[in-house]
Amino acid sequence: MVNKHPDIRKNEYCNVYVEDLTHEGKGVAKIDGYPLFVAGVLPGEKATIQVTKLNKGYGFGRLIELLEKSESRVAPACPIYEECGGCQLQHMSYQGQLLAKEKQVREILQRIGKLDDVPVHPVLGMDNPWRYRNKAQVPIGEREGGLVGGFYKQRTHEIIDMEACLIQMEENDAVLQKLKTVCSEFGLRAYDENTHKGTLRHIMVRSGKVTGHIMVVLITKTSDIPNRKKLVKTIVNAIPGVKSIVHNVNTKRTNVIFGEQTNILWGDEFIYDYIGNIRFAISARSFYQVNPEQTKVLYDKALEYAQLTGQETVIDAYCGIGTISLFLAQKAKKVYGVEIVPEAIEDARRNAELNGIHNVEFAVGEAESVIPKWYKEGVKADVLVVDPPRKGCDETLLKTIIDMKPKKVVYVSCNPATLARDLRILEDDGYKTMEVQPVDMFPHTVHVECVVLMSRVEK
């Protein structure tokens, strides 16, 4: 039996004061200590809400009316903001977002990591926090005979047709509109996930922020595209700057975007772009940071924390396509990178060759398996860099770091909660967290990245 709060009932209307934000961007209001999570409200606001759900320890509410507004409240710039859900914080000023993210990092480090005295610097934000994403991928649907493409409406698979996404590069928006028109003119039918019929599932566009190169990826259910040659010729003529047109086939009943089969229809297999002075080859399936401007900010900070003099051996766990590794290699004696995805390591080696960087060595495998093997073979890291997925570092890897005793650990994190957990483990075994620098990689969303410097403390 659900232990409902004695003073409130489902569907009841309440006036509340909003105290905080969750990591999902919902406002937190409390009634006699019982938290209610409400979308669309900000800390410091008073609102009338309707209680929509009551659980044992917390509940949910729906905003009915704002009674007092926060100074940080702004009108969302995007016309489909409330329907879409791709951004969660457009109703908050950008300065307010940065302050909220700093507060989130600080409080999570204290609550989960018991790190009360660690300096957390103000979040490094963008001068212009719009139009930063260099990759657009949208599901395709059909309406009144024409193709639509956009994002799924919140908590549904209903596609909102989108003319512009204000956090995507304008070039990508323009290309998507042209592709929807061209594909409609050629009679391509949208894939229907209910009937498993139709052809076109998704369209992806990648753009080089520095180079201006454009890649178009058509993801279909079928291995053949009707009138393929004419379609490709029309796309080439319609889109100046296109360097690559790629066809990916996904025949499965799945929500996963890509299938296993990828073919180049026209142009090159790769487009190129730069982060700082490092050039990267980007294929249809490559993992490449979607905000290269802030990626440079993030990696510059990691490089600063590493304090390399040219004499150090560095290990880059979870190295991906070698982005951090190549930055580090410019200042280190030798860099070892490890990544579980074979294609990413192929990209990493290609990118090292592309930039004439030869003091790097990449291996395929789990960081928690490969790094202990390197350690047994005599590889001793002066600096160890980790940039793990959202789940954080594997326990075996943390144990290896503790055994290996690098002088510095530079931890790049996309999840403050798992970051705090891992820092606590390292703190308990000989490391001290020196400072934390949050970086806003994804303005107007709830996500925040951090770079952390840890130093070995000899007991």
CB contact set of 28 (below 8 Å; sequence gap of 6+):
18, 19, 20, 21, 22, 35, 36, 37, 38
Residue 420 near residue 379 (C-beta atoms within 8 A)? no
Kindly give the pairing relationship between strand 334-339 and strand 360-364. Answer: parallel
Catalytic residue IDs: 414
Q: How far apart are CA 451 and CA 171, in angstroms?
A: 31
Give the DSSP H or E segment for 242: strand 242-249
Could you tell me which residues come within 8 angstroms of residue 256 by beta carbon, excluding any fewer than 6 positions away? 250
3-state secondary structure of 442: coil
354 close to 380: Cβ distance less than 8 angstroms: no
Of the chain, the end-to-end C-alpha distance in Å amounts to: 52
3-state secondary structure of 212: coil
Coil, strand, or helix at residue 316? Answer: strand
Tokens of 411: 């931890």
* Alpha-carbon span 388 to 367, nearest angstrom: 10
Backbone angle region of 14, left / alpha / beta, with phi > 0 → left and psi within -120 to 50 → alpha = beta
Q: Which letter does DSSP use for residue 426 in this model?
A: H
Half-sphere exposure of 136 (CA within 13 A, CB side): 30
Dihedral of the CA atoms 356, 357, 360, 365 (nearest 10)?
Answer: -50
Q: Where are the alpha helices (DSSP H) in 168-315?
A: 170-185, 228-238, 292-306
Q: Rounded CA gap, 240 and 284, in Å?
A: 19
Q: Degrees (nearest 5) of the Cα angle 202, 131, 273?
A: 75
**Could you tell me whether strands 146-152 and 159-161 are parallel, antiparallel, or unpaired per DSSP bridges?**
antiparallel
User: 216 to each of 49, 169, 245, 289, 436, how far by Cα in Å?
Assistant: 45, 14, 5, 17, 38
d(CA 239, CA 216): 10
Q: Rounded distance, CA 211 to CA 241, Å?
A: 10
CB 152 within 8 A of CB 160: yes
